[in-house]
Amino acid sequence: MNGAESLVHTLLKSGVEVCFSNPGTSEMHFVAALDRIPGMRCVLGLQENVVTGCADGYWRMTRKPAVTLLHCGPGLANGLANLHNARRARSGIVNCVGDQATYHRPYDAPLTADTEGWARGVSHWVRTSARAREVGADAAVAVQAARTAPGQIATLVLPSDTCWDEGGVVAEPLPVPATPQAEMHAIRACARVLREKKNVLVLLGGAMALTEGAQIEANRIAAHTGAKLLAETSNSRFQRGRGRLQLERVPYPADVAIERLKEVEHLILVGAKAPIGFFAYPNMPSKHYPEHASVTVLTRPEQDAEAALRALAEELGAPKAAMPDAGPRPEAPRGAPSPEGLARLVGALMPEECIVVDESVSYGRGFFPATHATPPHDWLQITGGAIGCGLPLATGAAIGGGGRRVLNLQADGSAMYTVQALWTQARERLPVTTLILSNRKYQILLGEYRNVGANPGRTALDMMDLGNPDIGWAQLARALGVEAATATTLEEVGDLMTQSFARPAPFLIELVI
């Protein structure tokens, strides 16, 4: 058995079932092992940032790590942006990165790079295997690291001779550390704040604090104490819809967030960070909550948020509380597109158990109020601010979603970073509806330009303009194997969305706005 075969056997024994790949020469023995050994679903991405984004989406839906197969340091570098997003989402991923053979590295061949150095910025665990007999054991540790709460990125660098040399040994799966629990003193400290203080905000963040179960306990606490509840601005997975809390998020724009939080005197964090600005602006504070507000931590991101909220509710003596009624579902609107109209349309048409992947950026900031009364669904967001996650995230979420429909609300500028993901959706016949919000500009940058006190002139406007020429999204999607159509009214996009939801295949809608 060679090292590559021990790698595949170990990954399978450790519960890794999907490989998102973009292999090269240094990884051919890994590819050959995947060909010979059954059990791994192999999904090809045409660019490494697609591969890493898919692995992020897959983890968010399954809580199981996929393995990525990347070609040397430059291949890893191509995937760094979505590994950054995955790290901010606290997703578990195992990266296998090919490298020069150990004896070839001193010759400084063209693809030789500081692969470990590039990996460290986005990884919690990094190791280079030294010989074939160590590959299986290293892979088992990588999977253990990836599955450690709340989810971690593990990067294993594999010199090619460690894969082709004989002597590989299959390693047994390693135990996954138990999810840490909140400390009792933290629960009591939060209970004291909630009993004795006013203007308390409980801020929920991360995947574990926004599950339906965690929301039930947070609702008990809020109903009993009068505390306010909010979610972080960006969240990895948010269970939403009828029967769940009508939670809003901390607003993205700095001035709006500061205004929203100005009355807060005490902040309780549940898997969240205290709200700060996405960027610094002249004459604007970095903190979006009042400087005098106290901050108390109930759970860190790796701790069990639902159990902690339940313990806090019991400590407070909070009785069971019914979830607030979300009211009637919105009617499908008609007419010209607008952010509010599109939000109501999504709220009116979203299918049961939909997975919404939101990289709508500036156009989609008002989606939440109109989608509280929809059927239960999951909402996945860009978490690290590195645009280009939406299409790959939707692709990986569809593979991990067990046949559930995915609706990708997608800004056009961001989509061009990883448009190759459409090809993977077509090849895998994935149930993804991509709604391209085609305003043909980097709209968010126009706002940011003004936020720093400047008014855009011709040169600046040209650098934020995606017209001249316009991107032909329907033609582009078809060229990548995805059926597509263009809409200019809410009626047209609603009809196309409804048709696409009934199809067992991907579909793209360009909404011209």
The continuous run of DSSP H or E covering 198 comes out as none
118, 238, 287, 437 from 203: Cα distances, Å? 33, 13, 15, 30
Residues in the chain: 513
Q: pLDDT of 11-24, one tens digit each? A: 999 999 999 999 99
Q: What is the pTM of this model?
A: 0.95
CB 2 within 8 A of CB 33: yes
Q: pLDDT of 118-141, one tens digit each? A: 999 999 999 999 999 999 999 999
Distance CA 22, CA 264 (A): 48
Query: Amino acid letter at 383?
Result: T
Sorting pLDDT into bands at 50, 70 and 90, what band is 441? low
- What are 55's two structure tokens? 């692995």
Share of the chain above pLDDT 70, in %: 96
In this predicted structure, the answer to whether residue 513 has a pLDDT above a threshold of 60 is yes
E strands present in 412-506? 432-438, 483-487
Look at residue 361 in the predicted model and tell me its pLDDT. 82
Which among 429, 358, 391, 379 has a CA at the least distance from the CA of 82?
391
Look at residue 139 in the predicted model and tell me its pLDDT. 98
Share of the chain above pLDDT 90, in %: 91
Sorting pLDDT into bands at 50, 70 and 90, what band is 413? very high
38, 230, 325 from 165: Cα distances, Å? 21, 54, 63
| CATH pick for 3-164 out of 3.30.530.20, 2.60.40.10, 3.30.565.10, 3.40.50.970 | 3.40.50.970
Look at residue 225 in the predicted model and tell me its pLDDT. 98
Look at residue 163 in the predicted model and tell me its pLDDT. 97
Look at residue 304 in the predicted model and tell me its pLDDT. 98
Pairing of strands 238-240, 377-381: antiparallel
Sorting pLDDT into bands at 50, 70 and 90, what band is 453? low
The continuous run of DSSP H or E covering 315 comes out as helix 305-316
- C-alpha gyration radius of the chain: 24
Distance CA 255, CA 262 (A): 11
User: Which residues is 202 bridged to in the sheet?
Assistant: 229, 268
In this predicted structure, the answer to whether residue 360 has a pLDDT above a threshold of 60 is yes
Sorting pLDDT into bands at 50, 70 and 90, what band is 455? confident
Neighbour-count burial of 321, counting CB atoms closer than 10 A to its CB (0-12 exposed, 13-18 middle, 19+ buried): middle
Look at residue 458 in the predicted model and tell me its pLDDT. 75
Look at residue 468 in the predicted model and tell me its pLDDT. 78
Q: pLDDT of 232-277, one tens digit each? A: 999 999 999 999 999 999 999 999 999 999 999 999 999 999 999 9
Look at residue 332 in the predicted model and tell me its pLDDT. 95
CA angle 312, 316, 321 (to 5 degrees): 85
Look at residue 446 in the predicted model and tell me its pLDDT. 59
Fold match flag (184-316 vs 339-512): yes
Across the range 69-77, mean pLDDT stands at 97
In this predicted structure, the answer to whether residue 363 has a pLDDT above a threshold of 90 is no
Look at residue 239 in the predicted model and tell me its pLDDT. 97
DSSP per position, 132-166:
HHHHHHHHHHHHHHHTSTT--EEEEEEEHHHHHSB
What is the 3 state secondary structure string of 217-246? HHHHHHHHHCCEEEECCCCCCEEECCCCCC
237, 334, 339, 365 from 494: Cα distances, Å? 25, 9, 14, 20
**For the chain, what are the domain ranges?**
3-164, 184-316, 339-512
CATH number of 339-512: 3.40.50.970
Which among 464, 392, 451, 384 has a CA at the least distance from the CA of 421?
392
Look at residue 469 in the predicted model and tell me its pLDDT. 87
- 330 Rama class: left (phi>0) / alpha (psi -120 to 50) / beta: beta
Q: What is the DSSP letter of 329?
A: P
Look at residue 74 in the predicted model and tell me its pLDDT. 97
Q: Which CATH architecture has domain 184-316?
A: 3-Layer(aba) Sandwich (3.40)
